[in-house]
Structure 1
Amino acid sequence: MERLAGRIMLLSGAPRLFLAFVAGLLAVLTQPPFGIFAAAFLSFPILVWLLDGATGHPDGGLIRRLWPAVSIGWAFGFGYFLGGLWWLGNVLLVEADSFAWALPLAVVGLPACLAVFYALATLIARILWSDGVGRIAALALGFGLAEWLRSFIFTGFPWNAIGYAAMPMPVMMQSASVVSLATINMLAVFVFAAPALAGTGKGGWIGLSLAVALCAAHIGFGFYRLALPAPAGPDQPLAVRLVQPVIDQAKKLDDNERGAIFEEHLALTAVPAEGGARKPDIVVWPETSIPFVLTDSPDALARIAEVLDDEQILIAGAVRAEDAGAGLPPRYYNSIYVIDGRGQIIGAADKVHLVPFGEYLPFEDLLMSWGLSSVAAAMPGGFSAAKTRSLLTLPGGRTFYPLICYEAIFPGEIGTDARGVDALLNITNDAWFGDTPGPRQHFHQAQLRAVETGVPLIRAANNGISAIVDARGVLVVGLAYNYRGVVDTILPGRLPTPTNEVIRSRIFGLCAIFLLLVAVFSRVSFNIRKN
């Protein structure tokens, strides 16, 4: 392995950048639909060895000395995000006449921008670079800080965070009940990069031993937690039905199809439960499943009342309109409605975290003057964001924590009040993405929110993946992509988690400080040995 490491370290110029790009592409195999976490044990050692050789021009300034490491990190990130997010182009092809021109921006431009975070990661690592385990700690620290920044800068987009590579299945997800995704990002990079210590002859047995111990603790805790009794539901169990209508996105945008789409949802709602099972207490429709402003359509509420029994509840996604005042156009919200069996709206929650360029336009006045519009919003100006997140309270006192579409990818935005609810509720319309890795990646990230909070997840999608997941991230029932139908089950119960958000943020800080100290100590020792 030392021979391979040496050959990689000696690369320069275009071959070095190309290998970094390939290593990033290889890392994509760790994410759904593949879930091959072992690929990271090859891609990250390659990245370490490339950085070992990225010494820069010794007589140049600071920028010239650090630029090789920055360019390696960017190339690695570009390969990772290009290979993991290419499917976003499918969103623009739904209305190709209007948005196909932006395809290069989505498929190439966004990965190029996100790659800057990984360039920052390798910059931080290179500043602290030494030999042995110190450089692995520096790389883990750099990626941990970069992924943390990616979760909130420019409204945040932590899609396919590196830590998800270490959690492809429930037995490897349980650490998320103890530490935050931000911490898992750091520790995952440390473990994935540790094999590089076997290829440089620097006495890295300490780092390798620590990596093995982390792996053992990660998987061992997973087996332990899954061996505990499954979370029991409440004394009065709640029967839930998920409706997955599989409606083509182009059809959803056709005004002439709105009535047929609404009736399609009603027809699936009325399907008898299989095997003589009890009728569902709650029926859940996907995001924007009601294809018109519901408060302007009393006949639609009457039709819902016809299909539901008096004691049943419908939870459905819809656009909500709100009067903005005299002379001003109404504000529109991407919302969830709770409707009882009499056709009365008894609760609602609006989306808080909107998709930039999808549901609203940043710098709206300027960009609209250039003729641009948001992709997913059907009304001028796009959607408005709710100022606060509202819980959905059902008859009988049950509460759900609403997460609309990609809000489920932001663990930091799920407040402490989520721990007391009966379920996380994620409604989405992944038909925008087509039959690509996008819906699988989206579901995987939502699945982790159940483990982090210890609360079951109810997820309804227009075209997959709809599912109910228990508090340990275990799939209870589900509907695959492109499967039209319904699925019924009893909602699982909550499961206490060992830590809370405050403790997890402190663990993240302590891990970052520990890695920084290891990297600095190794750097100082390295400089002393050189001199």
Structure 2
Amino acid sequence: MQRLIRHLESRAGWRALVTAFGLGALASLAMPPIHAIPVLLLALPGLVILLGKAESWKRAALLGWAFGWGHHLIGLYWITYSILTEAERLWWLVPLAVPLLALWMGIYSVIPAVLAWKARPGWPRVMVLAGAWVLAEFVRGWAFTGFPWNLMGSVWTFSALPVQGAAWIGVHGLSLVTVALACTPLLGRRAMAGGLAVLAGFGAFGLARLWHVEPEPLPVTLVLVQGNVAQEAKWREESRWPIFRRYLELSRQGAEAASQEAPGTRPVIIWPETASPFLLADDPEARRIAAAALPPDGLLLAGTVRAEWGPDRRATKLFNSLVAMGPDATVSAVYDKAHLVPFGEYMPLSGLLPIRVIRGGVDFGAGPGPVAMSLPGLPAASPLICYEVIFSGAVVGKERPGWLLNITNDAWFGISAGPHQHLATARLRAVEEGLPLARAAQTGISAVFDSRGREVARLPLGETGIALAPLPAAGRPTPFSQLGLAIPAILTAVFLMVGLAGSVRQAKLATT
């Protein structure tokens, strides 16, 4: 550590910025699906050392920005795949999109860097960095509609055991602990021993939570249907019927397998986001054909586009929706996605930008937000379409549902880290809320988690098929589900206040 400190302290000028960039890129390797968590023991202390040599707050801000740029450039590389699905039209964005997005996301590392630079060396600086880092995560989840992707607490999602603390402190609380523990090598052996004790405590807490036997699952068999349809083929006119037939055939196979493997249970067939190439809510013939694939007691929960029509029978508004329908082809419930993706589902500053990334002339409309969707013969579900699942503390409405239902189209991101990172956030929501979660993804990864985040079923990335799983019972409301972001917000404030107070005290002692 002393050799590392001397080496990093010798970095000056542009070399320090390049080093900060490299340390940020290194830190991204701790994220899913690699989970190389030990790299944080180098990356975050390295940032602290560089900040300690900064001669001004402006220099500290640049170092933080460089670190964040490298971190997000590597962590978000997979966004390029979504552009390549329309390479003939958007080819010019390929070398620009991710570097510019990462450059923007790097701004969120500026405040933690500046506040840590202002703090005194030692434990005050570490506590301020951890608190300010999570403060920036809160802002990132809210500003400009929010993009809380790859929060630092996500590094622990490789298993259910290390994320059980999220039931109390949420993913932001895990981020707080992770940043602080990663910096303990700077504080000496006692601090490192204390960090190991904290890790052991979290492990013991996780074992205690997982020791309890889950309640008996409900008499329902979930049938996750993964059509594995490539995004570039999805909306071609000649592909519509072949895609529809694929989902119908997989649904029939799933219903038959459910009757054989779990007789006496009700089959609930789940299609991913926009799986239907026809507007099911508006197309009686498509609903009739889909209903024919259902068993007499079956239920289909399907992702589809829904439209509102003008007097000339032209669509005036589109919705990214989930519809529930039974064998009688009647739609019993509809949920419209509320948290839309900028540039993907609507154009910000419509009419002012010289380009239009999304096709067509109609933006998607937003639904009312998290709801407990009533389903015939089932516990109410909280539908979460695509990245709605990444917003901690915002996946459940006023009424507590019996389970979380996430449908998504990760075909945009190809065979990359993106779908793994998306799945990791879904697991965290199950633990935070104490609710089982079912996830159907167009190309994967489809999965079912119980209320403690244990994996019940999975379909790997890039495979066509079905996965069967019982619907796990809901757990008891967790402290996080009752208090939401208040708990990690209070912890963040405590870290910041204690760290800043320690800095003031040390400054006074230094002057006396």
Q: TM-score, normalised by structure 1?
A: 0.91
Q: Is the 8 A contact 1:9 1:51 kept in 2?
A: no
- The count of residues paired between Structure 1 and Structure 2 equals 507
Aligned to 2:379: 398
1:70 aligns with 2:51: no
Cα offset for 1:334? 0.1
User: Deviation string for 1:473-495 (max 9, x for gaps)?
Assistant: 11111100111111112111111
1:135 aligns with 2:116: no
Aligned to 1:61: none
Q: Is the 8 A contact 2:258 2:267 kept in 1?
A: no
Question: Closer, same or farther in 2 for the Cα pair 1:168/1:498, shift >3 Å?
Answer: same
Question: Closer, same or farther in 2 for the Cα pair 1:442/1:189, shift >3 Å?
Answer: same
Question: Closer, same or farther in 2 for the Cα pair 1:343/1:213, shift >3 Å?
Answer: same
Cα offset for 1:137? 0.5
Aligned to 2:483: 503
Aligned to 1:119: 110
Question: Closer, same or farther in 2 for the Cα pair 1:212/1:68, shift >3 Å?
Answer: same
1:316 aligns with 2:302: yes
Residues 332-411 of structure 1 aligned to structure 2 (within 5 Å) = 332-367=318-353, 370-374=354-358, 378-411=359-392
Matches of 2:438 and 2:478, distance apart in 1: 23
Write the letter of the residue equivalent to 1:455: L
1:93 aligns with 2:84: yes
Cα offset for 1:328? 8.5
Q: Is the 8 A contact 2:276 2:303 kept in 1?
A: yes
Aligned to 1:255: 237
Aligned to 1:201: none
User: Deviation string for 1:51-88 (max 9, x for gaps)?
Assistant: 1111x1xxxxxxxx201211111111111100110110
Write the letter of the residue equivalent to 2:438: I
Cα offset for 1:258? 0.8
Matches of 1:186 and 1:26, distance apart in 2: 19
Question: Closer, same or farther in 2 for the Cα pair 1:371/1:157, shift >3 Å?
Answer: closer
Q: Is the 8 A contact 1:350 1:389 kept in 2?
A: no
1:282 aligns with 2:272: no
Cα root mean square deviation, aligned: 2.0
Deviates more, 1:331-340 or 1:22-31: 22-31
Write the letter of the residue equivalent to 1:240: L
Write the letter of the residue equivalent to 2:339: H
Match 2:217 to one of 225, 233, 236: 233
Q: Is the 8 A contact 1:280 1:488 kept in 2?
A: no
Aligned to 1:453: 433
Aligned to 2:178: 188
Cα offset for 1:209? 4.9
Aligned to 1:429: 409
Cα offset for 1:98? 1.6
Residues 183-222 of structure 1 aligned to structure 2 (within 5 Å) = 183-198=173-188, 205=190, 207-222=191-206
SS at match of 1:304: helix
Q: Is the 8 A contact 2:370 2:394 kept in 1?
A: no
Deviates more, 1:290-299 or 1:444-453: 290-299
Question: Closer, same or farther in 2 for the Cα pair 1:167/1:435, shift >3 Å?
Answer: closer
Matches of 2:490 and 2:300, distance apart in 1: 45
User: Deviation string for 1:29-49 (max 9, x for gaps)?
Assistant: 111111122221221111111
Match 2:224 to one of 237, 242, 257: 242
- The percentage of counterpart residues that share the same residue type is 34
SS at match of 1:412: coil
Q: Is the 8 A contact 1:166 1:188 kept in 2?
A: no
Cα offset for 1:519? 1.6
Aligned to 2:93: 102
Matches of 1:503 and 1:214, distance apart in 2: 23
Question: Closer, same or farther in 2 for the Cα pair 1:435/1:381, shift >3 Å?
Answer: same
Write the letter of the residue equivalent to 1:341: P
Q: Is the 8 A contact 1:424 1:457 kept in 2?
A: yes
Write the letter of the residue equivalent to 2:63: I
Aligned to 2:168: 178
Matches of 2:323 and 2:258, distance apart in 1: 27
Unpaired runs of at least 5, structure 2: none
Aligned to 2:453: 473
SS at match of 1:270: helix
Cα offset for 1:327? 10
Aligned to 1:147: 137
Q: Is the 8 A contact 2:445 2:460 kept in 1?
A: yes
User: Deviation string for 1:328-382 (max 9, x for gaps)?
Assistant: 8511000000010111111110000000011110001212xx24232xxx53232
SS at match of 2:405: strand
Q: Is the 8 A contact 2:370 2:397 kept in 1?
A: no
SS at match of 1:464: coil
Aligned to 1:27: 27
SS at match of 2:91: helix
Q: Is the 8 A contact 1:349 1:389 kept in 2?
A: no
Q: Is the 8 A contact 1:364 1:381 kept in 2?
A: no
Matches of 2:485 and 2:271, distance apart in 1: 35
Write the letter of the residue equivalent to 1:434: G
Q: TM-score, normalised by structure 2?
A: 0.94
Write the letter of the residue equivalent to 2:28: V
Matches of 1:28 and 1:174, distance apart in 2: 22
